[in-house]
């Protein structure tokens, strides 16, 4: 028998990599030539797959999967929970003689009909139509995990509305492909037949001891701590970033890498992050769709591997107050089937022209749809990060670096003297671009959307987010800009093309320069300046989400076939529901922790202090017991305050529960319930800081953050 997940530790890296993936190599080896060609064409061009082809692929897949120890198959999909979902069916088909045969048909490969009634649909799927459909996505390879063959699929309702994150992502990649190919053809690159979106998402996470995790209801239920006094040490010494890996953490990363490599996930870089116990993993970039699937697998394997080694992996955006939260940088570019990274400035005039046009398209797209980009990363968790002087601000702007900024200015000013040393004049009137080095583009870490040499890096996504969301927006918005550019280019004769390109690019630079900002995004001055420039500053999910239904945004998605209006309405409702539910659970968890756990610690300590003072008095009647008295007094004062604040939180949460209007309810949770929680936390934390650890029935910040071996 071939390798299974259990023996991946003994394989060499080349043997191991992708060994559990039904990838192109396996298909080439195992499928008849004509079938392989048909599948390849489907993957490349998105063409329909005939049933007889699907049957052969299914039979081959089944054979391969069984050889690798699989007994089941599942359609793997990404409902609007942001997580993945799966339902396993075994290959067995019992026979009259008491034996079994193993079956897996083309129909089973291509389409599934899970009961969809318990997934969020935002009212898209009436309950009498409980069925949803899953449809095979051949562009993301099937793989084996825990004895099951996983088939990546898209998920939609009986009526064909998308109920997942993959369908709109694939639609947006298609839209961008069409628009980009049109523009490249107009620019003379007629050999290009396909443009793919590439994505590399750097993933941050925390590791803490599993036993400690289990003792904290807030971490278990909400993924973040709701109370907890800061440890004497935080991240101020800056000694964790890129620090030496502790042996057990190193073992975790090593094991995680091997699990991911077996699944064909190209895990590449690993290091300690800024906060104590915080780490990062970055993969090599892939086609957006595969990168999204692989990021989901990465998050899942992080949790599993952590659990196996006695850790809990925290993917929440802000698990601990007072130290950095976790994000997920979405590196994004475009690549042609002729192998050109279009966002690489390159060294020849044609590449420069492509770069210029696409740079302009991205700038226009981000300026016109900054609200959508903000919405694509909005969640109850990520709201704690954005604008908190550690992650990008909630205002979206683009960092282009000094070299590009100078070039953009030269366009604006028709600056014929603009020179990039030693380069020849481009025919289009601008100069050949200066060599854009990574050094000049990668310095500003405060920008939410930065050009980093040959790609854009969107730094707002939260660590637990599905990266499908921001990429759907980016792809669609850029497709829209490219369509506008194509309209202006399509009838221009070749000899006038360069001048026209120059004119278009200049116009976009001039009209959209307000979105470009190279300074420090964390300062108050920038927030003021951004307001003057008319940029959005959507601070929270309830502030941002209604813009999803703004006419310009509905028009964009409908025009490019990404979402129907009904699908957008559903997503709007689901986002608000997820938000209010998250904070509701947080509020209830906090109330319980304060009432049951914190109070117990406080009472125990008060008793101990009182007893100790009484005994001291017995032995030493003249004793003042000054410390005991002062602590008891502080606790007594604070407990009154805690009681009042707890009552207010309870009451306001009940009020919020009763609000029917979704948006009004979300605002109530944001403006009132979260504010109550902050106040209560401050009061509780001030007392926790006075109580010795042994009385507190859950691990403290110091224990959680500094105990990793």
Pick the closer one to ligand ADP by CB: 282 or 433.
Answer: 282
CA distance readout (Å), 326 to 265, 272, 274, 369 = 21, 12, 10, 25
Helix (H) or strand (E) holding 578: helix 565-592
Burial 298-328 (b: 16+ CB within 10 A, else e): bbbbbbbbbeebebbbbbbbbbbbebbbbbb
Residue 512 in contact with Mg ion, rule: CB under 5 A = no
In the numeric block, the tokens 């060599």 are attached to 435
302 token code pair: 């992080």
332 sits near ligand ADP (criterion: CB under 6 A): yes
Q: Are 241 and 390 in contact (CB under 8 A)?
A: no
Question: Residue 521: which of Mg ion, ligand ADP, none does it interact with, CB under 5 to 8 A by kind?
Answer: none
Q: Shortest gap between Cβ of 702 and Mg ion (angstroms)?
A: 30
- Residue 281 DSSP one-character state: E
Find which of Mg ion, ligand ADP, none residue 455 binds, CB within 5 to 8 Å per kind.
Answer: ligand ADP
Residue 333 binding partner per list ligand ADP, Mg ion, none, with a CB distance cut-off of 5 to 8 Å that depends on partner kind: ligand ADP
What's the closest the beta carbon of residue 435 comes to ligand ADP, in angstroms? Answer: 17
Place of tokens 């200066």: 434
Question: How far is the C-alpha of 705 from the C-alpha of 123, rounded, in Å?
Answer: 42
Tell me how far, at minimum, the Cβ of 478 lies from ligand ADP, in Å. Answer: 14
Work out which of 106, 120, 152, 200 binds ligand ADP, going by CB under 6 A.
200
User: Which residue in the set 172, 235, 277, 333 belongs to the binding site for ligand ADP (CB under 6 A)?
Assistant: 333
Instruction: Quote the least distance from Cβ 97 to ligand ADP, whole Å.
Output: 54
Using the Cα atoms of residue 165, residue 167, residue 173 and residue 179 in order, give the sign of their dihedral.
Answer: negative
Binding mask 677-696 for Mg ion (x = CB under 5 A): --------------------
330 is an interface residue for ligand ADP by CB under 6 A: no
Q: What is the DSSP letter of 644?
A: H
Please select the residue that binds ligand ADP; options are 225, 272, 410, 452, rule is CB under 6 A.
452
CA quadruple 102, 107, 109, 112: dihedral, nearest 10:
-110
Please report, for residues 233, 249, 302, 588, 707, the alpha-carbon distance to residue 311 in angstroms, rounded to integers and kept in the order given. 22, 9, 10, 26, 11
By CB under 5 A, tell whether 455 contacts Mg ion. no
| Residue 454 binding result from Mg ion, ligand ADP, none, given CB thresholds of 5 to 8 Å by partner type | ligand ADP
Q: Which residue has the tokens 């800081």?
A: 689
* Structure tokens, 347: 């060294």
Q: How many residues does the chain have?
A: 709
The number of residues that bind Mg ion (CB under 5 A) is: 1
User: Minimum distance between the CB of residue 199 and ligand ADP, rounded to whole angstroms?
Assistant: 6
Rounded to 5°, the CA angle 383-386-390 comes to 130
Which of residues 19 and 331 has its CB atom nearest to ligand ADP in the complex?
Answer: 331
State how far the Cα of 544 lies from the Cα of 538, in Å rounded to an integer: 5
Shortest distance, position 198 Cβ to ligand ADP, whole Å: 4
Q: Residue 374, exposed/middle/buried by CB under 10 A (0-12, 13-18, 19+)?
A: buried
**Of 466 and 580, CB closest to ligand ADP:** 466
Pairing of strands 21-22, 142-145: antiparallel
Name the minimum Å distance from CB 299 to ligand ADP.
15
Q: Does 196 bind ligand ADP (CB under 6 A)?
A: no
How far apart CA 541 and CA 548 sit, in angstroms, is 11
Least distance to Mg ion, CB of residue 329, Å: 4
The residue assigned the tokens 């900054």 is: 370
- The span of 3-11, 54-62, 123-131, 325-333 binding ligand ADP (CB under 6 A) equals 325-333
Instruction: Give the residue, chosen from 108, 161, 196, 202, that forms a contact with ligand ADP under the rule CB under 6 A.
Output: 202
What is the x/- site pattern for ligand ADP, positions 430-449, by CB under 6 A?
Answer: ------------x-------
Q: Pick the piece of the chain touching ligand ADP (CB under 6 A) from 199-207, 208-216, 367-375, 680-688.
A: 199-207
The residue among 185 and 271 lying less far from ligand ADP, judged by its C-beta, is 271
Cβ count within 10 A of residue 565: 12
Question: What is the three-state SS of 101-122?
Answer: EECCCHHHHHEECCECCCCCCC
Alpha carbon 162 to its chain centroid, in Å, reads: 20
Q: How far is the CB of 455 from ligand ADP (least distance, A)?
A: 4
In the structure encoding, which two tokens stand for residue 399, read together? 């960092």
Nearer to Mg ion among residue 257 and residue 457 (C-beta): 457
Point out the residue whose Cβ comes nearest to ligand ADP.
200
Of 327-335, 406-414, 537-545, 548-556: span binding ligand ADP (CB under 6 A): 327-335
CA distances (Å), 107 to each of 10, 39, 134, 136, in order? Answer: 37, 15, 11, 10
Among 195, 199, 398, 593, binds ligand ADP (CB under 6 A): 199
- Closest distance to ligand ADP from the beta carbon of 313 (Å): 19
What track of x and - describes contact with ligand ADP for positions 263 through 302 (by CB under 6 A)? -------------------xxxx-----------------
Cβ closest to ligand ADP, residue 283 vs residue 434: 283
Of 234-242, 328-336, 362-370, 497-505, the segment contacting ligand ADP by CB under 6 A is 328-336
Q: In whole angstroms, how close is the CB of 453 to ligand ADP at the nearest point?
A: 7
> Residue 110: exposed, middle, or buried by beta-carbon count in 10 A (0-12, 13-18, 19+)?
buried
Report the site for ligand ADP in 340-359 (rule: CB under 6 A).
341
* Distance, CA of 527 to CA of 405 (rounded, Å): 20
For residue 86, what are the contacts with CB-CB under 8 A and spacing of at least 6?
74, 75, 76, 77, 148, 150
313 contacts 207 by C-beta, under 8 angstroms:
yes
- Cβ-based nearer residue to ligand ADP, 329 or 547: 329
Greatest pairwise CA separation for the chain in angstroms: 104
Give the integer Cα–Cα distance in Å for 257 and 262: 9
Q: Would you give the distance in Å from CA 186 to the centre of its chain?
A: 35
Site map for Mg ion, 329-348, x if CB under 5 A? x-------------------
∠ CA 337-339-343, nearest 5°, is 105
Q: Looking at 44, 215, 454, 641, which residue binds ligand ADP (CB under 6 A)?
A: 454
Residue 589: contacted member of Mg ion, ligand ADP, none (CB under 5 to 8 Å, by partner type) = none
Q: Which of 579, 586, 597, 599 is nearest to 649 (CA)?
A: 586
**Residue list 305-334, contact with Mg ion (CB under 5 A):** 329
Determine if 75 is a binding residue for Mg ion (CB under 5 A).
no
Residue identified by tokens 């689901």 is 574
- Return the range that interacts with ligand ADP (CB under 6 A); candidates 23-31, 135-143, 294-302, 331-339: 331-339
Stretch binding ligand ADP (CB under 6 A), from 240-248, 303-311, 330-338, 685-693: 330-338
Binding site for Mg ion (CB under 5 A): 329
Binding site for ligand ADP (CB under 6 A): 198-200, 202, 282-285, 331-333, 341, 442, 452, 454-455
């Amino acid at each position: 028998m071939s390798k299974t997940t259990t023996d991946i530790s003994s394989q060499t890296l080349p043997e191991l990599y992708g060994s559990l993936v039904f990838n192109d190599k396996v298909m080439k080896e195992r499928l008849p030539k004509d079938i392989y060609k048909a599948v390849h064409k489907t993957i490349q061009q998105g063409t329909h797959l005939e049933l007889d082809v699907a049957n052969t692929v299914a039979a081959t897949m089944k054979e391969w999967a069984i050889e690798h120890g699989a007994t089941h198959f599942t359609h793997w999909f990404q409902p609007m929970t942001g997580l993945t979902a799966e339902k396993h069916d075994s290959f067995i088909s019992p026979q009259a003689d008491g034996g079994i045969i193993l079956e897996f048909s083309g129909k089973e490969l291509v389409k599934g009909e899970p009961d969809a009634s318990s997934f969020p649909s935002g009212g898209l799927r009436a309950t009498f139509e409980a069925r949803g459909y899953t449809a095979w996505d051949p562009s993301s390879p099937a793989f084996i995990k825990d004895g099951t063959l996983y088939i990546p699929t898209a998920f939609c309702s009986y009526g064909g509305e998308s109920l997942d994150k993959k369908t709109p992502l694939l639609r947006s990649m298609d839209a961008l492909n069409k628009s980009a190919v049109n523009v490249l053809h107009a620019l003379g690159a007629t050999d290009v037949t396909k443009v793919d979106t590439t994505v590399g998402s750097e993933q941050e996470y925390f590791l803490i001891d599993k036993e400690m995790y289990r003792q904290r209801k807030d971490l278990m239920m909400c993924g973040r701590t709701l109370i907890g006094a800061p440890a004497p040490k935080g991240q101020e010494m800056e000694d964790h970033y890129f620090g030496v890996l502790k042996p057990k953490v190193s073992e975790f990363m090593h094991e995680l890498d091997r699990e991911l490599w077996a699944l064909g996930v190209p895990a590449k870089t690993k290091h300690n992050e800024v906060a104590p116990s915080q780490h990062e993993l970055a993969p090599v970039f892939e086609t957006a769709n595969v990168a999204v699937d692989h990021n989901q697998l990465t998050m899942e394997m992080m949790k599993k591997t952590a659990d196996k080694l006695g850790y809990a992996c925290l993917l929440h955006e802000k698990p601990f107050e007072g130290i950095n939260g976790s994000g997920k940088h979405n590196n994004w570019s475009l690549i042609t089937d002729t192998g050109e990274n279009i966002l690489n400035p390159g060294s020849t005039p044609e590449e420069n022209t492509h770069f210029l046009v696409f740079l302009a398209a991205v700038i226009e797209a981000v300026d016109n749809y900054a609200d959508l980009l903000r919405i694509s990363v909005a969640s109850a968790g990520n709201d704690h990060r954005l604008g908190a002087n550690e992650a990008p601000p909630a205002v979206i702007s683009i960092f282009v670096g000094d070299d590009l900024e100078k070039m953009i200015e030269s366009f604006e000013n028709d600056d014929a003297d603009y020179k990039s040393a030693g380069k020849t004049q481009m025919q289009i009137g601008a100069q050949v671009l200066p060599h854009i080095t990574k050094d000049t583009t990668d310095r500003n870490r405060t920008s939410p959307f930065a050009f980093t040499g040959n790609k854009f890096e969107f730094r707002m996504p939260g660590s637990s987010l599905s990266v499908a969301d921001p990429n759907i927006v980016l792809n669609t918005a850029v497709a829209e800009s490219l369509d506008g550019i194509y309209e202006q280019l399509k009838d221009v004769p070749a000899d006038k093309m360069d001048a026209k390109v120059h004119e278009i690019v200049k116009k976009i630079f001039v009209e959209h320069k307000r979105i470009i900002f190279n300074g420090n995004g964390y300062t108050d001055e920038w927030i003021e300046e951004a307001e003057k420039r008319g940029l959005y500053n959507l601070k929270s999910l309830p502030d941002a989400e209604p813009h999803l239904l703004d006419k310009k945004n509905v028009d964009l998605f409908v025009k490019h076939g990404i979402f129907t209006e009904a699908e957008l309405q559903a997503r709007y409702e689901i986002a608000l529901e997820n938000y209010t539910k998250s904070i509701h659970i947080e509020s209830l968890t906090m109330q319980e922790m304060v009432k049951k756990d914190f109070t117990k610690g406080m009472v125990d300590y008060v008793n101990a202090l009182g007893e100790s003072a009484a005994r001291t008095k017995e032995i030493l009647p003249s004793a003042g017991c000054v410390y005991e008295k002062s602590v008891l007094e502080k606790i007594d004062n604070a407990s009154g305050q805690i009681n009042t604040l707890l009552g207010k939180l309870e009451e306001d949460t009940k009020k919020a529960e009763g609000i029917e209007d979704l948006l009004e309810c979300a605002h109530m949770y944001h403006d009132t319930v979260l504010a109550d929680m902050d106040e209560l936390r401050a009061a509780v934390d001030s007392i926790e800081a006075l109580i010795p650890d042994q009385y507190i029935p859950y691990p403290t910040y110091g224990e959680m953050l500094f105990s990793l071996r």
